Structure 1
Amino acid sequence: MRVSVSWLREYVDLPADLPAGDLEQALVDLGIEVDSMVDLRNTVSGPLVVGKVLEIEELTGFKKPIRFCRVDVGAANGTGEPQEIVCGARNFAQGDKVVVILPGGVLPGNFAIGARKTYGRNSAGMICSAQELGLGDDHSGIIVLPEHTPASPGDDARPLVGLDDVVLELEVTPDRGYALSLRGLARELSYALGVGFEDPARREVPGATERPAYPVEVRDPVGCDRFAARMVRGVDPTAETPDWMRQRLTVAGIRSISLPVDITNYVMLCLGQPMHAFDADRISGPLVVRRAEAGEKLTTLDGVARTLSEEDLVICDAGLPNDLAGEDAGVPISLAAVMGGETSEVLASTTNVLFEAAHWDRATIGRTARRHKLFSEAAKRWERGVDPTLPLVALEFAVQLLVTHGGGTAGDEILDIDHVRPLPAVVLPVGLPSERIGVTYSPQRVVELLEQVGCTVVRGADRLAEDPGEVGVAATGGADVLTVTPPSWRPDLTDPADLVEEVVRLDGYDRVPSVLPTAPAGRGLTWQQQRRRAVARSLAEQGYVEVLAHPFVSTELADQLGLPADDPRRPAVRVANPLSDEEPLLRTTLLGPLLGVLRRNVGRGLRDVAVYEIGAVFHPRPGVGAPPAMGVDRRPTDAEFAAADAVVPDQPRHVAVALAGDIEPAGWWGAGRPAGWADAVEAGRTVLAAAGIPADRVEVRAAEHAPWHPGRCAAFAVDGTVVGYAGELHPAVVAALELPRRTCAMELDLDALPPATLVSGPTISTFPPALIDVALVLDESVPAAEVERALAEGAGPLLEDVRLFDVYASEQLGAGRRSLAYKLTFRAPDRTLAGEEAVAARDAAVAVVAERFRATLRGA
């Protein structure tokens, strides 16, 4: 929010000599972040003067309209002669007063102005727009000063456009909606500086009349619990917005449109109450406030045709027939609390204005703004909370401004449909602020600070029994308490913790000592943490790069991965308020987001990619209901904890890798090697070894499991239980996810692995080994790992090591047959083996393989 200090001074007695730094610090101490504080007098240097347009020559033959102007700038240019300026804007005419910066001046952004030849003419200076002067975002045309502006050509233009002020740009947190107004900021500064505050909402206002200003039916009193309206008839359609109002709106970043619309924006900035102005002559029947029907259409003031949702609140013209919603439902003419519609907007010919001020449900408006990506100034305030007592005050304020500056007659009829419920009281143990903050606050100080923000405070334990529905009663335990009723403009004060925050905020965060707690002695990492670090380290040492992918996935991912209909990875947890509507689900496998990272890197020019991630996946628990509602005023009970845990999805930790391109790069040393399914399998072996799982407990066997290629997929089993898969991805999956050909991946469930066993140190024998090679011919469908396991089983304890060193296939071996050559190492721990012992062990190993897989010795 942008606000000028001069406007603030109308409502809070800021000291005349208050340094800008002290004002900024006061706001920061109150918890209001100051993005910037700009002294507008210093933003534009050099001659910025009033000019009067004497002549305009339209230049033709260019891609865009260009005008050559002669502008009277008085004696500001040193000669008194008219200034020649080329300008592309078309919203001014001969005789208008404009703002001119002469050569030698510098605009915001260090944009220096000089004299030059352009479009075939000499141009010395610039006729300025609001954006060029740093006053707002409007660049649609230059600033045209009102005709009755008393300044003469050559006079300093800074006071006329508001460049003699200090502007604050504030970042207001989502719970502090009242601070998005001059009223709220002035009240806050009065707390911090101990100065007087003049509430702009404190004015006499008439109440509702028996005859309403306009017939209105509110069909959703939950979404709209207050709706007020008032009419002004006979407005002069040519009346202009007064200079002071236009200037304040411009500084606030709001473009001046017309007097009635500008008044609604001015009142919104002043009070914090968004309003809307209807052209009463363009409404054909009563107004109906209701929820939209799915599929209804509305073209908003920004010219966008929007398809409405059933959750959207709309204001409808019941005089227009609507076949979709019913005869008396009317046609939507406004997206309530967000933006009005084109069919009822105030035009240049409008003479009868219907002002509307209402109070809308915060959550509904916030969701509507996000759904339509329409974050208007009104929506920003509604989703943060607006004072429900303001509608009649805002109407009176707006009506008086319009009558004063636009003529017309204010109607005596006032509509006020009021279903507002007061904010509930909050019961606060009087010692809770001291207990939570660590600073001693006396009961009197707590009461004083809470009353300062407008709360009504009743002290005494006897209040406990009066209203069992009051918030925080269960936390008091019968101690001395305060029963606090928040003011209407503070809907964020709902719990004792909120009141504690107000106490420390107003008393001063600087009074809270910075004391580092003494860290208790730790017990080191858990074995699960040690395992995850060991796995991560081992993959990094193999050349994989760790990534942290978002855990959100699209609803189409399961189909893209080719998961069967009954696959347990298909059911997914849907996020209630997703960051993106395109990815509303939590991942059930790491592969989806990880492959997205790989695709993005390949798309940015990386040819060889090897990435890994260790993270949680989320599996919904079937048959669970909604989580229990738990407040922040007390610690949940064990039963509530258990009920909440029962709803939380199962979240095992997985590890996954994805690789594409070359695993070994090519260069002067020779040809490279592309990554293949065997590299993904090896990554799985690396993970299991780093996790402390002995090789003799690991089985790697052929498998068929989506999304892997059925002929190039391996399953990892530990003690007979499958814990993951690796291999080359299915070609259909590669095509669906737009991945490089032959992309490979591995995924293991770390939580499914048993704890690592205690490993004894190896016994080193000083006796020489006996080395024997065997080449076995067998079906190519037999996994090499199973052959290796059979050799080890048959050879017995003398076998120290077995290693595959050659794979061979040819027509001589026969179709579907291949040769696997192994190097066997035999050694005895207490003696030198005789040749006969090693050969006997070799023969025993070969016999087991022959019996189990019908293998034969090659060459035998």
Structure 2
Amino acid sequence: MAFVSIEWLKRWCEVPAGLTAAQLAKDLVKVGLEEETIHTSGVTGPLVCGKVLRMEPETASNGKTVNYCRVDVGAEFNDAPGAGKEPSDVASRSIICGAHNFKEGDHVVVSLPGAVLPGDFRIATRKTYGHISDGMICSARELGLGEDHNGIIVLEEYLGERGMEVPPVGTDLLGMLGLNHELLEINITPDRGYCFSMRGVGREYSHSTGAAFTDWGLAENLKNPLAEANNSGFPVEITDDAPIRGNVGCDRFVTRMVRGFNPKAKTPEWMVTRLESAGMRSISLAVDVTNYVMLDLGQPMHAYDLDKVKGSIVVRRARDGEKHTTLDEVERSLYPEDLLVTDCKGGHAARVLGIAGVMGGAETEITAATTNVLLEAAHFDAVSVARAARRHKIPSESSRRFERGTDPQLPPVAAQYAAELLVEYGGGVIDEGITDVNHSAPMPSVTLGFDAASRLIGVEYSAERCEELLKAIGCQTCRDDSAKAFTVTPPSWRPDLVGAAHLVEEIARLDGFDQIPSLVPVGPAAIGLPAVLCTRREISDTLAEAGLTEVMTYPFLGDEHDRQGFPVDDPRRVTVRLANPLADDAPALRTSVLDTLLNTASRNVARGNQRVAIYELDQVALAHGVVPAAIPGVEHRPSDEEMQALRAGMPKQPWRVAAVLAGNATEAYPGQPARAWDWADAIALAMRVATSQGLTVRSEAPNVKCSGNNGKATQSVAPFHPGRVAQIRVGAETGGKVLGYAGELHPQVCREFGLPERSCAFEIDLDAIEKARPKGAFQLRAVSTFPVAKEDFAFVVDTDVAALKVQNAIAKAAGDALESVHLFDSFTGEQLGQGKKSLAFALRLRAADHTLNPQDIREIRQRVIAKVQKTCRATLRA
């Protein structure tokens, strides 16, 4: 957060008269600086200048001496002679005051009935100590102007110290005492660190309103010309043996010296007021000046007692085992990544003066005896400062600015400005010695196409407008009409502008986000959900229509594979391990939806649910056979080869649908017992999922054996019972793809998860269904208006011949004339012979364009009989 004082803003911008904090907030939000809140003094009038006419000490019954006063508060507020609640012979008001630091004739601050002081303290007429007190004579603390509560404010003294004259009696004092000033608190985003200063806020106010802006952070705007560095300055050495991410911890370090400084000099009232408006307390002139310069220009500074700094200053990283006592009198253990400012007391770079950019040390701090001051203004690495502040848990105003990036061109300006302020208000002279160790690199240029802003924002920006806005924020531009692009060099105070997208954002921000029209995107006509999403939705609807409840479980896995009886070499045991799991007992991603669905079913059964029928559609992570790729660094964009390796190292994540059926399928009714779920229900639901997508599927026994290991199933069918499981395969013929498995759960699995015996489940591969689903658009056919011809067939086939195989042969032979075919009878008996069965089918035949005549029907019958006899080795029974 940052605080903006309108009075302080006037130093940087031409502010219109009568500007309020509310209007200032509206102006700043246009350029992205959001209002947090508006602070006021909490004081409302009437608050006027009064003159003490009479002062009569009186001793109260409790032994306390108070003063009964008659105070002239101006013609508008005085009671006329002989009038009022406690009449007097002079025009005045009666006020009881317990302070004794004033006398008759003094001018004081009077709050009259109706006024409100800080803390919602409301002034009203009241009787006290035997008199009517018709107002209150105020102290500094009562008005929120300080902590002094030993006496009331005597205006001759208070205003005289500030170079102001006492106003006439009855004058409103809210403005003169600064109690009518509003303070705007704004929210600063991480990329706008320059706005943690009045310099940055003033610049943004100028962008928003067009107000004239004077940049006091430029050398040419200093009171005196900026002095150049020389060899007589305080010696400084920068050694950084452990740069972070290739960036040295300090690339610029400036020092200035002030000698003969008066340590008893008071901080000017205007500076104290500004510091307090920013939430900082006044400490001493030297410290206040460094804080003020930081708040004003945005350059953090530090002041040392020059006589206590020995040898030269060395900026380096911390050493193992090093300790340092900071200004808050806490001894801290340092880390090798900590960037330090040291001197040479006890050896070269031996004594730590402070943690760079975070907090100084206690040994060289400014004291009441300091007469010679060493000023430091440096440019420290943002990452180094941020890590140190978080590591030691000492965030400071300085670290808050450094970690967001400061202006590397500002240290010499800030150092001279601070030195001039010290001499102006504290005496002494500025030493001619100036040190400026400068290794800062120039700002990198960015190429920006003429059409980049229009293309990314969706609003037309001319090249001239883009150049105008970029120059307004301080960028230097070089236009190349042949390449239709600018070469843009950002200003030193904007380290966040490192790419074309950042420049485009600035163009849109300064032109006004409110200029971007709010348009509802128009979707392409006749485009619905992608086919894969339609498939998942239809499958979910199918299971819901069958009475199942959809659940969504966390995809995290613990020991479920052991509980499901997976063999040690089962490829499903190869899992993706999580770097930071939410729970220590679930450190991996599931390889089957049943891994987590069984736990959900178990909890429902444990809570007394007698009918569990739940399903889930989600992805699984299959890491078997996948070699993870090395994660590239963040310093550069990954190459195409690195991206290809990353994609190859990603686990496969197919979509699956699974269900668990436990307990009763139907409830008990009078005359009808409850029916438990059985494996036929699971198989039927699994096939229903596939057929809902237009697939022809069949169920068959998988080729499995019982394992010799505790009777558990082999890896291919776990967690199912090896004798009561079916695999669901695409197509009526052999050779189709296996979609999944359905059946009864293994008894050991039921016991592990606390499920009823013979609980069932299935799991189907949705991606396989999507690949096998018939392609092409569905075509609707008109219902024929011609009559239906019904024919029945009964074929004798071997008992191992599936009825579906016979039905498919009939369908192929009947051709387009077949409207429907279904099995209506299956019969076995001695009269058919050993290993034979009879299958009877009913056919509905109808042509689309004519009535089927006897000859047509006869030809169809002949084709059907011939096809079934050839395909299924069948004989016609009837």
Match of 1:398 among 418, 423, 427: 418
- Aligned to 1:457, what secondary structure does the other structure show? strand
CA spacing shift, 1:291–1:831, aligned 2, 3 Å: closer
Matched residue, 1:458: 478
Matched residue, 1:192: 208
| Identical-residue share of aligned pairs (%) | 35
The structural deviation recorded for 1:380 is 3.0
Q: TM-score, normalised by structure 1?
A: 0.61
Deviations 1:39-87 (A, max 9, x none): 625x444678999xxxxxxxxxxxxxxxx99999986995223289xxx
Superposed, which structure 2 residues align to 1:807-822 within 5 Å? none
Deviations 1:788-824 (A, max 9, x none): xxxx989866999xxxxxxxxxxxxxxxxxxxxxxxx
CA spacing shift, 1:740–1:429, aligned 2, 3 Å: same
Match of 2:632 among 618, 626, 630: 626
Match of 2:248 among 222, 234, 247: 222
Q: TM-score, normalised by structure 2?
A: 0.60
Match of 2:407 among 374, 387, 390: 387
CA spacing shift, 1:534–1:330, aligned 2, 3 Å: farther
Gaps of 5+ in 1: 52-67, 85-97, 117-123, 136-141, 322-326, 462-477, 670-674, 768-791, 801-827, 846-860
Superposed, which structure 2 residues align to 1:285-684 within 5 Å? 286-293=312-319, 297=323, 300-301=326-327, 308-310=334-336, 312-317=337-342, 319=344, 330=350, 332-337=352-357, 339-344=358-363, 346=365, 348-349=367-368, 351=370, 352-369=372-389, 375-437=395-457, 439-461=459-481, 478-521=482-525, 523-534=527-538, 572=577, 614=618, 621-624=627-630, 626=632, 643=644, 646=647, 649-650=650-651, 652=653
CA spacing shift, 1:440–1:217, aligned 2, 3 Å: closer
State the one-letter code of the partner of 2:297: L
State the one-letter code of the partner of 1:3: V
The structural deviation recorded for 1:212 is 3.1
Superposed, which structure 2 residues align to 1:758-837 within 5 Å? 833=825, 836=828
Whole-Å Cα distance in 2 between the matches of residues 682 and 331 of structure 1?
Answer: 81
Contact 1:657 1:746 in 2 (8 A): yes
The structural deviation recorded for 1:21 is 5.0
State the one-letter code of the partner of 2:196: L
- Aligned to 1:79, what secondary structure does the other structure show? strand
Superposed, which structure 2 residues align to 1:845-856 within 5 Å? none
Deviations 1:710-740 (A, max 9, x none): 999x9999889798999999x9xxx9xxx99
Contact 1:365 1:382 in 2 (8 A): yes
Match of 2:226 among 196, 201, 205: 205
Contact 2:13 2:202 in 1 (8 A): yes
CA spacing shift, 1:248–1:125, aligned 2, 3 Å: same
Contact 2:459 2:516 in 1 (8 A): yes
- Aligned to 2:379, what secondary structure does the other structure show? strand
CA spacing shift, 1:479–1:187, aligned 2, 3 Å: same
Judge which range, 750-759 or 384-393, deviates more: 750-759
Whole-Å Cα distance in 1 between the matches of residues 583 and 49 of structure 2?
Answer: 51
Matched residue, 1:91: none
CA spacing shift, 1:704–1:180, aligned 2, 3 Å: farther
Contact 2:95 2:137 in 1 (8 A): no
Matched, 1:247 2:267: no
Deviations 1:547-566 (A, max 9, x none): 697x9x9xxx9799999999
CA spacing shift, 1:207–1:435, aligned 2, 3 Å: same
CA spacing shift, 1:17–1:643, aligned 2, 3 Å: same
Whole-Å Cα distance in 2 between the matches of residues 521 and 314 of structure 1?
Answer: 61
Whole-Å Cα distance in 2 between the matches of residues 320 and 126 of structure 1?
Answer: 56
Q: Over the residues paired in the alignment, what is the CA RMSD in angstroms?
A: 6.8
State the one-letter code of the partner of 1:264: T
The structural deviation recorded for 1:422 is 0.9
CA spacing shift, 1:697–1:291, aligned 2, 3 Å: farther
The structural deviation recorded for 1:12 is 0.1
CA spacing shift, 1:689–1:15, aligned 2, 3 Å: farther
Whole-Å Cα distance in 1 between the matches of residues 582 and 308 of structure 2?
Answer: 38
Matched residue, 2:95: 79
CA spacing shift, 1:832–1:612, aligned 2, 3 Å: closer
The structural deviation recorded for 1:227 is 1.4
Matched residue, 1:180: 196
- Aligned to 1:80, what secondary structure does the other structure show? strand
Whole-Å Cα distance in 2 between the matches of residues 699 and 832 of structure 1?
Answer: 25
Contact 1:226 1:388 in 2 (8 A): yes
Contact 1:115 1:125 in 2 (8 A): no
CA spacing shift, 1:797–1:511, aligned 2, 3 Å: closer
State the one-letter code of the partner of 2:317: R
The structural deviation recorded for 1:487 is 1.8
- Aligned to 2:95, what secondary structure does the other structure show? coil
CA spacing shift, 1:709–1:586, aligned 2, 3 Å: closer
- Aligned to 2:314, what secondary structure does the other structure show? strand
Matched, 1:271 2:297: yes
Contact 2:593 2:656 in 1 (8 A): no
Superposed, which structure 2 residues align to 1:14-53 within 5 Å? 14-18=15-19, 22-36=23-37, 38=38, 40=40, 43-45=42-44
Contact 1:590 1:654 in 2 (8 A): no
CA spacing shift, 1:480–1:834, aligned 2, 3 Å: closer
CA spacing shift, 1:49–1:526, aligned 2, 3 Å: same
Matched residue, 2:862: none
The structural deviation recorded for 1:101 is 9.4
CA spacing shift, 1:235–1:838, aligned 2, 3 Å: farther
Whole-Å Cα distance in 1 between the matches of residues 266 and 754 of structure 2?
Answer: 63
State the one-letter code of the partner of 2:472: Q
Count matched residues.
701
Whole-Å Cα distance in 1 between the matches of residues 14 and 695 of structure 2?
Answer: 74
State the one-letter code of the partner of 2:507: V
Contact 1:190 1:197 in 2 (8 A): yes
Contact 2:139 2:148 in 1 (8 A): no
Superposed, which structure 2 residues align to 1:704-783 within 5 Å? 755=771, 757=773
Whole-Å Cα distance in 2 between the matches of residues 408 and 679 of structure 1?
Answer: 97
Larger Rg: 2
Whole-Å Cα distance in 2 between the matches of residues 126 and 680 of structure 1?
Answer: 89
State the one-letter code of the partner of 2:365: V
The structural deviation recorded for 1:418 is 0.4
State the one-letter code of the partner of 1:361: D
Contact 2:325 2:361 in 1 (8 A): yes
Whole-Å Cα distance in 1 between the matches of residues 396 and 47 of structure 2?
Answer: 33
- Aligned to 1:622, what secondary structure does the other structure show? coil
Whole-Å Cα distance in 2 between the matches of residues 696 and 611 of structure 1?
Answer: 21
- Aligned to 1:399, what secondary structure does the other structure show? helix
- Aligned to 2:96, what secondary structure does the other structure show? coil
The structural deviation recorded for 1:272 is 1.2
Whole-Å Cα distance in 1 between the matches of residues 466 and 413 of structure 2?
Answer: 31
- Aligned to 2:97, what secondary structure does the other structure show? coil
The structural deviation recorded for 1:211 is 2.9
